[in-house]
């Protein structure tokens, strides 16, 4: 029972983080675009929308368990991309907090890799082919 609860809480935390990030983007997509532009990326508004929908998809995968391991791996790649792009070594000078933000992304990566390997658990997890077996 404890393992099931821990897995479900972890899934909820992953989903909450990505839902929070998604909501910030949807509520002020231009602010996200400005942040992306400040990091030097082209077409920032387009990238902001892509990020918002990608994060929404990740949240749904964590909530439902559908494509869970694949989503966890993609989220891990995304999180490390964000670490280097928005909190990387070029931002540490004069702002020690940026180094902390950078390191935090690796902690998040560790959890995502663990989740990818171990899957969504047996409870409240959609499995491909499940509806076919019920017919």
Q: pLDDT tens digits, residue range 13-52?
A: 999 999 999 999 999 999 999 999 999 999 999 999 999 9
Q: pLDDT tens digits, residue range 93-102?
A: 888 899 999 9
pLDDT tier for residue 104 given thresholds of 50, 70 and 90: very high
Look up the pTM and report it: 0.88
Q: How far apart are CA 109 and CA 76, in angstroms?
A: 5
The yes-or-no verdict on residue 76 having pLDDT over 70 is yes
pLDDT at 129: 58
Locate the domains of the chain by residue range: 2-134
CA distances from 74 to 93, 95, 105, 124 (A): 30, 29, 14, 21
pLDDT at 128: 64
């Amino acid at each position: 029972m404890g393992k099931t609860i821990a897995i479900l809480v972890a899934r909820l935390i992953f989903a909450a983080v990505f839902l929070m990030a998604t909501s910030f983007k949807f509520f002020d997509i231009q602010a996200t675009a400005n942040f992306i532009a400040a990091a030097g990326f082209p077409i920032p508004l387009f990238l902001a929308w892509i990020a918002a929908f990608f994060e929404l998809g990740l949240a749904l995968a964590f909530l439902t368990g559908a494509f869970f391991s694949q989503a966890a791996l993609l989220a891990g790649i995304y999180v490390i991309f964000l670490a280097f792009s928005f909190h990387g070594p070029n931002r540490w000078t004069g702002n020690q907090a940026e180094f902390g933000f950078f390191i935090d992304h690796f902690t998040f990566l560790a959890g995502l890799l663990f989740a990818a390997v171990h899957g969504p658990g047996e409870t409240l997890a959609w499995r491909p082919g499940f509806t076919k077996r019920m017919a």
